[in-house]
Structure formats: structure tokens, C-alpha cells
Structure 1
């Protein structure tokens, strides 16, 4: 398997004297991962040791991630996250036809010993997500999710709770996407195992909005990575 070579500068989509917003590629950890020493924080601290990450994205999740360049801007961002003033929008690809309306999911969540996040009405922490359909396909839906709280795996767990697990998210019941599931006339080659078109967690941090230290609003949208562009193209063509 080809090893990824990450370039920090190429990830930056917004930068000022206080913050950098990057479009994080999938398969790159936000912080140190025991299975892979490459991560966002170490890449950017190699440029400037003052960099701090203001929140986290799961390793397979792509998209908008905020980094602070100094302690003051980090504290300013942390306060906004604490007060729930940072607006984050995610796009997720789910199997099936999602509801025709926007809904608010209020389902308390708790992290189990295995690391999986579960619904727990008694011991779980408050978790709220706004979810609406963005684009319908025959067998799939692209949904838009706006978390109002910042729990671990919140969107993944909430969509699984609704019986719409994210494609490729095996931890929460999601399945990989195969061409045979899109093309009705698909013919598999004999004695050859079909490889998935898309197998990672189909979740992308689409945009982030906050205020800078000088009170100016920062709003940045991040394009889909290559693999998500390809699967969307396939869905538009065949599904």
C-alpha cells in the first residue's frame, strides 16, 4: 500500500495572523496516533512550534479544521467552542432515503469501554445535532449535519441511532459502497472479489464559522477530497 506523503502548506485554505483553517485529508490523524506518527499537529509544529489544534476530526473524516497560532487566539477559540458559538457544518453519505425534512436529534451519548459511543439516557452527556437531507439518490442520501454540542463521534452515533449509519462507518453499522450496488446491470468478473468504490467513513467537515480575535467573522468552506468527489460522481451517474 502506498504511504501518504502529507504537505502542511497544501492543506491551508485560510490563514491570518491568529488562525489557519486547513482542509484535512482523510486518513490523517489530528493528534498523535499510536499506529501512525504523522498527524496534523506535528506537521504544523514543524513549521511553527506555537501551533495548536482547536478541535478534532476523526482520522477518516476530511475537511475543515481550525488551528491557532498563539495562546491568545487558542483561548479565544476555546471560549467560542465552550459557548457553542462556532458553527460547523458536516456532509455525510448514508444508505437509504433519509427523511424529507430537517430534524433535531437530542440523544445523550456515552463513550463505552471499547471506544464506541452509545446512547445512554441515564449516564450519557447531552448531545444535539440538526440534520437535513441535501441530495437524494436512488439508494443513498447526502445529508447535512450541524452539531450543536461537541461530543465524540456525535454525528456518526446520531445517524446510526436513526438507522442511517454513514457509509463506510463499520463501527456504527455503515457499509462500503460497491459498484454492483449502483449499477443494475453490473457483471462481476468470475473468480474475482469486487473491491469497494468507497470504504472509509463518508463524513466531511464542510464548513466552519467563528469570530477572530478582532471580532471579524471567519467563514470557510472546504471542498470534498478526491475519493468523495469520485463517489458523488458515480452516484450521480448510476444511482
Structure 2
């Protein structure tokens, strides 16, 4: 998305409708996000999507958008070679914009600088091999979840890792703190997850997709419990949905339990997979940050 100054001509039209005509490949919702980000001004002033444009209005589109996060990939990097990048994503960093239009026009990431995708685009553009899609992002963590993520740098690595995730040969282990007492040292939650038509939230639902999660108790004080969690399937929000389903929601989960806290108490602790080039087993462990450890200690004291 390049900086532009466009004089408006013709009959009156809403700003979002006008921008949709300028960027026909973008959805209306994505156009609204661009406007709300502050990247669009009319006659030098911030504007709302519903603003009616009139003859000779000047529409200015800037790539400035949201403020830079101040984060650098080098500070997150755990491992890198010619095929893959392994990072420790901090809590609060969105992996990519929720609208898929960014995959069609990577320059639109200049509007959404507070994402991992924007960091990859700005710092890794010259490191990707030909044919890599979605900036090598092959899986994701929720914005408030921290921990290990794998990024593909070549088409071969991307294709191979996608197969590993699809065939469930990537082993992932999370650490989490939940509400309530957990009585069993080890157990599994085998409950399908899906979303009814018109419902934005996922839930355990008889018509959902097979979902399996293994739970190991680390410590409990009756009010809170510290867990090691291994999702065996890769459904969206699987851990949060399953733990909410058994009435032990993740502390800080404002979607599935409405439990206000300093942060979501979920961390992707360990990931094991097969290197797409060498065939060797790779395992990466990242301890939670100091705040996570402090909060676990406070909850279980």
C-alpha cells in the first residue's frame, strides 16, 4: 500500500465505499480497519468510514498506520538456519491481522505494524525463498499467548511443516494456570470443538471436529492449578475451550470465562518436530517470562 493523495470527484460517496473502489481486492471490513488505524485523512483531518466525501475533498492514504511495537525479531529469535526460524513470541503480539487481505498485499502490513507478520515483512523480506506463502507462518498463537513458534523460510520447509502439523506429528506442550482444583495427576479431554452458525465463539459441540487434549497437573492449592497441557489436535482456541468446558478456565481468559487478570496465563513451552531439510528431530523449550512465573507463584501461594 503506497502513500497516495487522491482528489475526490463526482457524486457524494461514503469514505469506506470510495476506498473500496480504490482497493477492490480488500474487503469492506479491512478498509474500515485501515481508516480506523489513522492511515486515512480527508482534507488533512482524521475521518470516519461513514464520512460523506464531496467534490474536491482530498483523500490522503498513508502507510504510517499503527505505532511500531518497538519489538525486533532478533530479540525473539531462538534458532535460525536457511530453512526455518524459531521464535519466542511475547504475550500481546498479534501473529497477523484478522482480515486475510494482508496475504494478497503485503504492503498493507504497513498499516498493522503491531503484528508478527509486519515484523517478518520488514525484517525478513530478503531471506525468504521463492514461493513461500503467508510470510512462512504455518501456525499461530493467540495474541495473549506467549511461547515457541516456527516460521518457514523456504517453500520446501513450509510444505513439509504443514504436512507435519496436519498429520499431528508436531508435539506441542503448554504451561497454564487455571481456576479451580484439578484432582487427577493426568487425564485427557476428548470433546469435539465447533461453532454454531451465527455464533462467534467456539465451544464443545457434538457436531464439531475431533479435539483431544492431554492434561498433567503440576501443582494446585484448591483455588488455582498449574498445568502442563498437550493438545493432540490443532483446533483454534482448543486449550481454552476444553479447559472452560471442564469448568477450569485459563486464568485471564476474557473470551471463554470472563476472568480479568494481568494477562492470559498460557505459554507455549515446548515444541518438537522433524527438521524439513535434515530430517533430524528438533526440540525447543522456552521458559515463561518473569511476569508469568511471578503470577503463577502468586496464584499458588
- Given the two structures, how large is their TM-score scaled by the length of structure 1? 0.83
Give the distance between the partners of 1:136 and 1:13, measured in 2 at CA. Answer: 31
Query: CA contact under 8 A between 1:207 and 1:222: conserved in structure 2?
Result: yes
Which whole-Å deviations, capped at 9, do the CAs of 1:108-146 have from their partners, x for residues lacking one?
11134443111111x211111111111223521111111
Of residues 95-104 and 125-134 in structure 1, the stretch that sits farther from structure 2 once superposed is 95-104
The answer to whether the aligner puts 1:32 opposite 2:85 as a matched pair is: no
What is residue 195 of structure 1 aligned with on the other side? none
Query: CA contact under 8 A between 1:90 and 1:146: conserved in structure 2?
Result: yes
Please point out which of 232, 237, 241 is paired with 1:153.
Answer: 237
Question: In structure 2, do the counterparts of structure 1 residues 108 and 69 end up closer, same or farther at CA, with 3 Å as the change threshold?
Answer: same
- Given the two structures, how large is their TM-score scaled by the length of structure 2? 0.67
What is residue 6 of structure 2 aligned with on the other side? none
- Runs (4+) of structure 1 moved beyond 3 Å? 33-37
Please point out which of 137, 143, 153 is paired with 1:69.
Answer: 153
1:39-54 alignment to 2 at 5 Å? Answer: 39-49=115-125, 50=128, 51-54=135-138
RMSD: 2.0
Question: In structure 2, do the counterparts of structure 1 residues 84 and 77 end up closer, same or farther at CA, with 3 Å as the change threshold?
Answer: same
More helix by share: 2
What is residue 281 of structure 2 aligned with on the other side? 217
Question: In structure 2, do the counterparts of structure 1 residues 167 and 36 end up closer, same or farther at CA, with 3 Å as the change threshold?
Answer: farther
Question: In structure 2, do the counterparts of structure 1 residues 94 and 36 end up closer, same or farther at CA, with 3 Å as the change threshold?
Answer: farther
The answer to whether the aligner puts 1:20 opposite 2:74 as a matched pair is: no
Give the distance between the partners of 1:160 and 1:60, measured in 2 at CA. Answer: 17
Long gaps (5+) in structure 2: 1-66, 100-110, 129-134
The answer to whether the aligner puts 1:231 opposite 2:295 as a matched pair is: yes
Give the distance between the partners of 2:84 and 2:227, measured in 1 at CA. Answer: 28
- Higher relative CO (Cα under 8 Å, sequence separation at least 6) belongs to 1
The answer to whether the aligner puts 1:7 opposite 2:72 as a matched pair is: yes
Give the distance between the partners of 1:61 and 1:115, measured in 2 at CA. Answer: 20
Aligned length: 214
- For the pair shown, which has the larger CA radius of gyration, 1 or 2? 2
Shift of 1:38: 1.8
Which whole-Å deviations, capped at 9, do the CAs of 1:76-135 have from their partners, x for residues lacking one?
1001001100000011100121122211111111134443111111x2111111111112
Which whole-Å deviations, capped at 9, do the CAs of 1:178-216 have from their partners, x for residues lacking one?
xxxxxxxxxxxxxxxxxxxx4322111011000102111
Question: In structure 2, do the counterparts of structure 1 residues 87 and 23 end up closer, same or farther at CA, with 3 Å as the change threshold?
Answer: same
Q: What is the DSSP-based 3-state SS (H/G/I as helix, E as strand, rest coil) of the residue aligned with 1:158?
A: helix
Long gaps (5+) in structure 1: 177-197
Q: What is the DSSP-based 3-state SS (H/G/I as helix, E as strand, rest coil) of the residue aligned with 1:159?
A: helix
1:131-142 alignment to 2 at 5 Å? Answer: 131-142=215-226
Of residues 128-137 and 21-30 in structure 1, the stretch that sits farther from structure 2 once superposed is 128-137
Shift of 1:26: 0.8
Give the distance between the partners of 2:119 and 2:251, measured in 1 at CA. Answer: 29
Question: In structure 2, do the counterparts of structure 1 residues 137 and 13 end up closer, same or farther at CA, with 3 Å as the change threshold?
Answer: farther
Give the distance between the partners of 1:115 and 1:202, measured in 2 at CA. Answer: 22
Give the distance between the partners of 1:158 and 1:234, measured in 2 at CA. Answer: 24
